[in-house]
Amino acid sequence: MTTLSTRPLARPQDPSPRPLGSPWPVSAVPGRGGDVLLGGVGLREAAERFGTPLYVLDEDEVRLRARAYRRALPQADVLYAAKAFLCTAMADWIADEGLGLDVCSAGELRLAAAAGFPPGRILLHGNAKSPEELRLARRLRVGRIVVDNLAEIPRLAALTAADTPQRVLARVLPGVAAGHHSAVRTGVDGQKFGFSIAAGEATEAVRRILAQPGLRLAGLHCHLGSQITDTAPYLTALDRLVELLARIRDRHGVELPELDLGGGHGVRYLPGDPELDPARFAAEITARLTARCAEHGLAVPKLTVEPGRAIAAPAAVAVYRVLSVKHTADGRAFAAVDGGMSDNPRPALYGSAYTVRPIGRTGTAQTRPFDVVGCHCEAGDLLARDAPLPADLRPGDLLAVPAAGAYHLSMASSYNHVGRPAVAAVREGRIRLLIRRETVDDFRTREVGR
């Protein structure tokens, strides 16, 4: 349940302080005593009030980024990729801003349904959907289901009838490698997702779907990868998908009305990082789509995109408390905090880099590089390497990590029985708790015997 605060937290003294800039949310500004204010709320007081680790989510940043996609692509379907981060409040904000929702599990689907998200604006993904998940999607009447393998075609067809067909998209592999790490490059052949265009699998999948009277093939879908900061891979994929649309028309006499290019739009984690701009992406993609369809004599299909990270990641800041500081004989320095790989596995999984800023520190102390490490029994439990922090950093200090809204809590674990952090939302100088901290009692309630 969402808990509203009864009073605003600290506001900046300066009515127009200079924003911290990317990768921080737009509202992030310096506060008194070395604090940072987010949505008018002091992170130091938020940490004292709700404890650490704490994820502070800027509601206005989420909404601003959702609106940027709607402005850039007014004629397209924009679906928020729930796998980046989903809670009831996030589903509400996304629905308010007119976006759809891309879910990839029964859990995400049930949460969205419980939040009252319009089912017709939901798309169901997944490379291994269970019969139960497909039945749930049909019962809830989701708008579209992405067919990811041949087994799903008869399984889904058995749940439908010709008078109540299910709209589906066929997920295809355009043979485009894109993304910041090999583990998230999902547009190439030889992996678990979708149907290869080059190997003829996509053509066979389309044939089988069209043969099912209870399935209505609405279009093609692809997803290239994650943290992509250039439009070039999307343009290449678009070319190959339009060619496939033309072959489907020539072979089956149907023009598919939809084309889904997935998501994976990259954001800044460090100040100098590149970022995919929605307006530039929209302009280049729509122009290319129009041109390629004209070359093949096709009507321009409706475009769908699925940004997740690009909306959620820049909207949240993680706040940790330093538990220990260690200086080694070889000259390295470690700052161990009260979170780590259980709430942010990305550095351990992908070698991801982050910005770290001390909170509540004033003065002119010199800085030195610190490895910010977690509290877990793993040498690879690293949050940031060589972060420039005060040389006199000490236990009890607070550290803030921006761009923490995507693939942190959605991938969180309970390793070492460390409970998942709380999530609080800020807006206009007020803070409210969205998700409470997980406790040992939560772990014990799952036990049913001994």
The enclosing domain of 124 has a CATH number of 3.20.20.10
Is residue 331 one of the residues assigned to a domain? yes
Please return the burial class of 402, using the count of CB atoms within 10 Å of its CB with bins 0-12, 13-18 and 19+.
Answer: buried
The pLDDT score that the predictor gives to residue 3 is 42
Report which residue type is found at 165. P
Give backbone dihedrals phi and psi of 265, rounded to 5 degrees, phi first.
Answer: -70, 125
The fraction of the chain above a pLDDT of 70, given in percent, is 93
What is the C-alpha separation between 81 and 143, in angstroms, rounded?
A: 15
Give catalytic residue positions.
377
Last residue of a domain, one of 268, 287, 311: 311
Residue 177 has pLDDT above 60, yes or no: yes
Q: Are 318 and 290 members of one domain?
A: no
Is residue 242 one of the residues assigned to a domain? yes
What CATH number corresponds to the domain at position 24?
Answer: 2.40.37.10
Q: Are 26 and 78 members of one domain?
A: no
The pLDDT score that the predictor gives to residue 1 is 39
Please return the burial class of 159, using the count of CB atoms within 10 Å of its CB with bins 0-12, 13-18 and 19+.
Answer: middle
Q: Are 303 and 318 members of one domain?
A: no
The pLDDT score that the predictor gives to residue 13 is 45
Last residue of a domain, one of 277, 311, 345: 311
What is the C-alpha separation between 279 and 276, in angstroms, rounded?
A: 9
What is the C-alpha separation between 449 and 148, in angstroms, rounded?
A: 39
| The residue to which tokens 């940027």 are assigned | 68
Binning pLDDT at 50, 70 and 90, where does residue 10 land?
Answer: very low
What mean pLDDT comes out for the span 137-160?
Answer: 96
Last residue of a domain, one of 311, 346, 376: 311
Residue 12 has pLDDT above 60, yes or no: no
Domain that holds residue 38: 3-58+314-445
Could you report how far apart the first and last alpha carbons of the chain are, in Å? 32
Q: Are 281 and 222 members of one domain?
A: yes
Is residue 189 one of the residues assigned to a domain? yes
Q: Are 328 and 414 members of one domain?
A: yes
Number of domains observed in the structure of the chain: 2
Q: Are 208 and 351 members of one domain?
A: no
What is the C-alpha separation between 84 and 316, in angstroms, rounded?
A: 12
Q: Are 341 and 306 members of one domain?
A: no
